[in-house]
Chains A and B, each alone.
Chain A
Amino acid sequence: MFPVQASTGAGQVDALYIFLLVVAGIMTVGIFLCIAIFAIKYRRRDPDEIPRPIHGSIPVEITWSVIPFLVMLVMFAWGTRLYFENYTPPKDTLDVYVVGKQWMWKVQYPDGTREINELHVPVGSPVKLILASEDVIHSFYIPAFRLKHDVVPGSYQTYWFQPTEPGRYHIFCAEYCGTNHSRMTGWVDVMDPASYQNWMNANAPADSMEQRGAKLFAQYGCASCHVLQTTPSPALNNLFGHPVQLANGQTVIVDESYLRTAILNPNVHPVRGYPPNVMPVFQDQINEEQLLDLMVYLKSLSSNQSAAGVNPARPAPAGKAGAKP
């Protein structure tokens, strides 16, 4: 009746579920029993009998309103705490980037490895997923971890987990997305750290995401303004995670979502002090996967962000793949 528990969070969700099952069971059995007992005990014996009326009782009404509500408050508090935990990643995570597209999941690791419909992760390390969509709304669902989140086009969504059991677990798309929605499935492969390392080494491509991002940065001519300042442009070092002031006076913290908009549609939220309509609009020119590569590269330019997340066995790239003119 339960899927396998394969993450630290899964057991906690199951515990809460069992609590609700017990409460619901007690209430259901209680009501069923009352009805059954009353139906039998008070069944009509005389066709003309009229029972004594009982209009009601305010103390009773209050009791059976307040007590269930208090029990519900427990459910609410427990569920909310667990929800915040499950959706608030710890500081150091292994970041994996997932792009959903009708009807497949494209997975990218910081070291540049790519897969389709498969996600390899090591036991015992916290993993953060950054989810993007190329087209419609999907949802990345891993029942064994009791986690899902919608994958919404135009934004990034994240969640995290820490696997506890090696094995192969379902990935399902859980937001209807068209014809092959039910075939948009995959597998999470949880491996012990040694096997995971071997797999990563065996599959490592030439370029990491950061390196691919650096190449895109050069290819699209970003350096000429942002590094060489041929046209005055916001500097990109120490950008990620720091505040930036927009032309309309608002201050925002630079994160993946902000950067995505800033690259694709720079004129939506122009930065104060820089004229609009100068940076080219890259909408429809850079796809979601390339954007993620750029994201990793841009993160690497900020000193307080590690380049590729915690990767237990692979050393950080020897030199920063900065943009050279």
Chain B
Amino acid sequence: MADTNVSAAEHDVGLKHHFDDSGQQYESATLGMWVFLLTEIMFFGGMFGSYTVYRNLYPEAFASTSRFMNLTLGATNTAVLICSSLTMALAVRSARLGAKKKLIFFLVSTLILGIVFLSIKYVEYHEKWVDHHIPGPGFHYDLPQYYHQAQILFFLYFAMTGMHALHMIVGAGLLTTLIVMASRNRFSAQWNTPVDMIGLYWHFVDIVWIFLFPLLYLIGNH
């Protein structure tokens, strides 16, 4: 699989010396990203597991907390993220076509949508702060019989959505890096692997939210 037929210019584009050819390099990157996403599934899985245990133990208490989940904002955020996955997919497509302007446009759109998501998250967290629903010394709950269980639920709520938001922030940073690289002509139709890989990451973060939203927002809200 030697790349003897590849022109010098192509060979230089992104091919690292320990790889035989760019196909091998691309496949390695892709497999690597998928394995990494597998680790992320296990990471979130611990929290989803704990949530499942407690939801089974305290179904009424958990259902009572969904009154405080802002369904409008949550649904909006879901729509925002789904759109951002669309723009990300279009960004990847643009990269593969070597269309620099479109690539940058779609990357920026994805970033903006991500920032919208985070801003709405901030609003929701602020609501929780005002309602004294942040676990810890300042926690209050209006139904005293569910006080402890609700605190556990909110703890898991913040753990899960907080971890998710953290991954979004990292994603935003990665998108910014991509935008800078794209504007410096680093990508081409021959080599655009980082766009592809970060696209996979972004889709994964989206999918985590698709699971979080019904679990946290829609219980008790039939």
Partner-B contacts on A (CB < 8 A): 247-248, 265-268, 270, 276-277, 281
Q: Is the CB of A277 within 8 A of B59?
A: no
Q: Is the CB of A268 within 8 A of B149?
A: yes
State the CA gap A258–B174 with chains docked (Å): 51
Contact partners of A268 in chain B: CB under 8 A: 58, 61, 145, 149
Contact partners of B144 in chain A: CB under 8 A: 267, 277, 281
For A246, the closest partner residue in chain B by CB is B60
For B144, the closest partner residue in chain A by CB is A277
Among B61, B143, B148, contact of A277 (Cβ-Cβ < 8 Å): B143
Contact partners of B145 in chain A: CB under 8 A: 266-268, 270, 276-277, 281
Q: Within B130-184, which residues are at the interface with A (CB < 8 Å)?
A: 143-146, 148-149
For B146, the closest partner residue in chain A by CB is A267
Instruction: Name 10 extra pairs, CB < 8 A, besides A277-B145, A281-B144.
Output: A247-B60, A248-B59, A265-B148, A266-B145, A268-B58, A268-B149, A270-B60, A270-B145, A277-B144, A281-B145
For A277, the closest partner residue in chain B by CB is B145
State the CA gap A5–B146 with chains docked (Å): 49
Partner-A contacts on B (CB < 8 A): 58-61, 143-146, 148-149
Query: 11 A-B pairs, CB-CB below 8 angstroms?
Result: A248-B59, A248-B60, A266-B145, A267-B145, A267-B146, A268-B58, A268-B61, A270-B60, A270-B145, A276-B145, A277-B145
A233 shortest CB reach to chain B, Å: 15
A143 shortest CB reach to chain B, Å: 34
A169 shortest CB reach to chain B, Å: 38
State the CA gap A267–B146 with chains docked (Å): 7
For A266, the closest partner residue in chain B by CB is B145
Contact partners of B58 in chain A: CB under 8 A: 268
State the CA gap A247–B61 with chains docked (Å): 12
Contact partners of B61 in chain A: CB under 8 A: 268
Residue with the highest number of chain B CB atoms closer than 10 Å, among A265, A266, A267, A281? A267
State the CA gap A281–B145 with chains docked (Å): 8
Contact partners of A270 in chain B: CB under 8 A: 60, 145
For B63, the closest partner residue in chain A by CB is A248
B72 shortest CB reach to chain A, Å: 29
State the CA gap A277–B61 with chains docked (Å): 13
B54 shortest CB reach to chain A, Å: 12
State the CA gap A247–B148 with chains docked (Å): 18
Contact partners of A248 in chain B: CB under 8 A: 59-60
Contact partners of A277 in chain B: CB under 8 A: 143-145
B140 shortest CB reach to chain A, Å: 15
